[in-house]
Amino acid sequence: MRALLEATGLFTLIPVRPFDVDRDTARRAMAAMPWLGLALGSVAGLVFVAVARFASPLLGAVLALAVLAAATGALHLDGVADTADGLGSRKPAEDALAIMKRSDIGPMGVVTLLFVLLVDVTAAVSLPGAWVGGAAIACAAMAGRAAVMTATVSQSSARAVGFGALFVGVTPRWEAAANLAVVAAVTLGLGWLTGGVHALAAFTVAGVAAAVVAVVWGRHLLRRLGGWTGDLFGSLIEVTQAAFLVVAALTIGSI
């Protein structure tokens, strides 16, 4: 519970009791990241279910994503936009990182942000049944944060100081592996409970695909920019989340 509260205080706008922030805090908070994602995603998923039943799935998906953005202060969306600006500049790593650190957002960031949100919304709407869609949103939010937890096994930091640098290298490999095993079990369980065999199969394929996308995207970021930053962690969350939703929609639609 302590770790979840620390993760909540560090990665959301939800008020919690003040605490000291150091490397030990960062390790505990990162270990709780998938479960923070599950909690936030479950709330967003329930919003989707309620609105889809009383209004429309499209409105439900938009409001569900709005809940995630509001709870996190759009922290991770900001990260994916800044990452797009940096990579889109095609400049050397040092210059690209300087672009990402600016407070403004460029055309590449705006377009990327727009498409990420559109992909999430349309993928969620494409899933059959409100409960399957709600469960997929919860699992996608959990998968994105599990990807970041796994990335913090790496010791590669693009900056010596900063919020992102605090988390680089804090997660032991065994802890990441144990958390990922539980994340997989929860994902399969939610698929089975909400959509039976079809959703179980779709969530299985989506989870594997999201993991592959996270690894490929993470390696590309490290090769291109030389290490992790807070913005890159945010982009990893959003890209992994979108991958889970898209593959779940494609898979369940083909079964």
Tens of pLDDT along the chain (255 residues)? 889 999 999 999 999 998 888 999 999 999 999 999 999 999 999 999 999 999 999 999 999 999 999 999 999 999 999 999 999 999 999 999 999 988 888 999 999 999 999 999 999 999 999 999 999 999 999 999 999 999 999 988 988 788 888 999 999 999 999 999 999 999 999 999 999 999 999 999 999 999 999 999 999 999 999 999 999 999 999 999 999 999 999 999 776
State if pTM tops 0.75: yes
* CA nearest neighbour of 9 among 163, 154, 174: 163
Q: What is the pLDDT of residue 255?
A: 67
Q: What is the pLDDT of residue 82?
A: 95
Instruction: Calculate the alpha carbon distances from 136 to 40, 112, 130 in Å.
Output: 13, 22, 10
Asked if residue 139 lies in contact with residue 200, where contact means CB atoms within 8 angstroms, the answer is no
* CA dihedral sign, ordered 224, 225, 228, 232: negative
The values of phi and psi at residue 22, to 5°, are -145, -170
Which residues face 228 on adjacent strands? 157
d(CA 162, CA 75): 15
- What Rg do the C-alpha atoms of the chain give, in angstroms? 17
